[in-house]
Amino acid sequence: MTSSSTAVRPTSLRRIAFATIIGTTIEWYDFFIYATSAGLVFAQLFFQPAGKEIALLLSFATVGISFLFRPLGAFLAGHFGDILGRRAMLVATLVLMGAATTLIGVLPTYAQIGIAAPVLLLLLRILQGLSAGGEWGGAVLMAVEHAPADRRGRAGSWPQLGVPLGFLLASGMTALMTGVVSPGEAYLQWGWRVPFLVSVVLIVVGFLIRRSVSESPVFAEIAKRGKQERLPIITLFARHWYLVLLAALVFVGNGTLGYMTTGGFLNNYAINVQSLDTTSVLLAAVFAAVVWFFSTLLAGYLADVIGRRRTFLIGFGIQAIVVFPAFWLVDAGGLPGLYVALLLISTGLGLTYGPLAAWYAEIFPASVRFSGVSITYAVGAVLGGAFAPMIAQMLLDATGATAAVSAYLLTATLLGAAATVCLRDRRGIPLGPDHEAEQASGATIFTPRETAGVFAETR
């Protein structure tokens, strides 16, 4: 088997694209609706006795704590995904995320049940973290392993589009509730619950769609030959630990800046520090999600044309340029400044997110690929996005200015760029189980490439 998908029909590819986009959108809608609410209502409803500033930090901390459980979700989904298949894990993680999100929508507040309220909120957020840790790897492998070699970048961007789409839906739904359906006190009383309860409908749709797609051809071939690793995670860390670390640092460069917007910090800063209207800020977040969507789509195309690494470096260059001006624009320009800042941020984010799926899939050998992709993404999320909103809030509280926040974001961006330079572009490498030796060699600039010339040259 020399290709992951040469026999896959165009209609099947379209069905897979639709299933991965829809499913990932629903997953990340659930995840982001929590982060959006954390900056708007959770401090008041679940952590109020701690005082305003501490309550906000605790609210942002619950956003981050869930990331600590994403590696566990990645370990579990990776292990069973490499043994049982990609599709089963996609369905399981979707159901888990939807159940946790819906339960948050009916959760009593601190005023109603006391300390049990924030404890239960945290437990449900942990379940969201477990689901998010396992979902992404399955979605990207279903897309990339079905795709022809020359279209993997574009195919890998399909599930990536679910992140800005999920953010768009979360921001749009919250804007609808704060601005139209339940403005003012009504939003605090009951309006915030509606976006969480909507998840139960979305989850049924996503479940039916994901059940309709076929298993990845790479895993189907592995299973047919009985070549599943008995302990894929042990094999991964014994032979490829350095790839996990470097590829995770690449994602750190994206995730740290990304969670300034999706994690609620920038929204909270614009609303509570610059006194901008809540609904107007949420509509600006919708605009950011649209820009992020199209820049991610562009990045998938560029990854196939100029390579994964070059596309990443362009994106990191944009990020490095904008991290200081972004806050200056919000400070001096009000709402128009916020739109410009989000335009710049979202462009850089898309270029450093769109190629990620294809590049991760091409880094790891077929037998441990689900574990490698999932765990690397989860580790990168913990090191980068997990506590970024909380760290940024602490820096802002300690210094009273955004320069320290921008310096923190610049450091993460440069770290991601440095890790990007250390990895080779593997565009065109065969993904099937017949090429395990080739896949296991030469993924970094520090290791020799035993099969030079078999796939596209290093870029």
- Does residue 435 fall inside a structural domain? yes
Assess if residue 71 is contained within a domain.
Answer: yes
Is 148 contained in some domain?
yes
300: closest CA among 358, 375, 381, 217?
Answer: 358
Per the model's pLDDT, the better-predicted residue between 109 and 20 turns out to be 109
Task: State the residue range of the domain holding 396.
Answer: 10-439
169 located within any domain: yes
Answer whether residue 459 is part of any domain: no
- The residue with greater pLDDT, 196 or 32, is 196
Say what the pLDDT of residue 249 is: 96
Nearest CA to 64 out of 262, 246, 253, 199 is that of: 262
Alpha helices in 306-400 (DSSP H): 308-351, 356-363, 369-383, 388-399
* Separation CA 63–CA 52 (nearest Å): 17
Residues 6+ apart with CB under 8 A from 457: none
Is the predicted pLDDT of residue 263 greater than 80, yes or no?
no
- Supply the pLDDT for residue 175: 85
- Which of 188-197, 262-271, 375-384, 391-400 is the least confident region? 262-271
pLDDT at residue number 4: 43
CA 398 from chain centre, in angstroms, equals 29
133 or 156, which is more confident: 156
Q: Residue 262: what pLDDT?
A: 67
Local structure of 445: helix, strand or coil: coil
According to DSSP, residue 444 is labeled B
pLDDT at 113 over 90: yes
Report yes or no on 449 lying in a domain.
no
Residue 376, pLDDT > 90, answer: yes
Q: Is the pLDDT at 371 greater than 70, yes or no?
A: yes
Q: Strand, helix or coil at 1? A: coil
CA–CA gap between residue 344 and residue 346 (Å, rounded): 6
Q: Is residue 222 predicted with pLDDT exceeding 80?
A: no
Within a domain: 384: yes
Ranges 28-32, 210-214, 231-235, most confident: 231-235
User: Which amino acid, residue 68?
Assistant: L
Q: State the CATH number of the domain containing residue 121.
A: 1.20.1250.20
What one-character DSSP code corresponds to residue 434? G
For the stretch 182-200, pLDDT in tens is 777 888 888 889 999 988 8
455 in any annotated domain: no
Output the average pLDDT for the chain.
85
What DSSP assignment string belongs to 184-221?
Answer: THHHHHTGGGHHHHTHHHHHHHHHHHHHTSPPPHHHHH
- Give the helix/strand (H/E) hosting 37: helix 10-37
Q: How many domains does the chain have?
A: 1
From the CA atom positions of the chain, what is the Rg in Å?
A: 21
Q: What percent of the chain has pLDDT over 70?
A: 92
Residue 49: DSSP 8-state: G
Predicted confidence (pLDDT) per residue in 326-339, tens digit: 999 999 988 999 99
Quick one: pLDDT band at residue 279, thresholds 50, 70, 90? Answer: confident
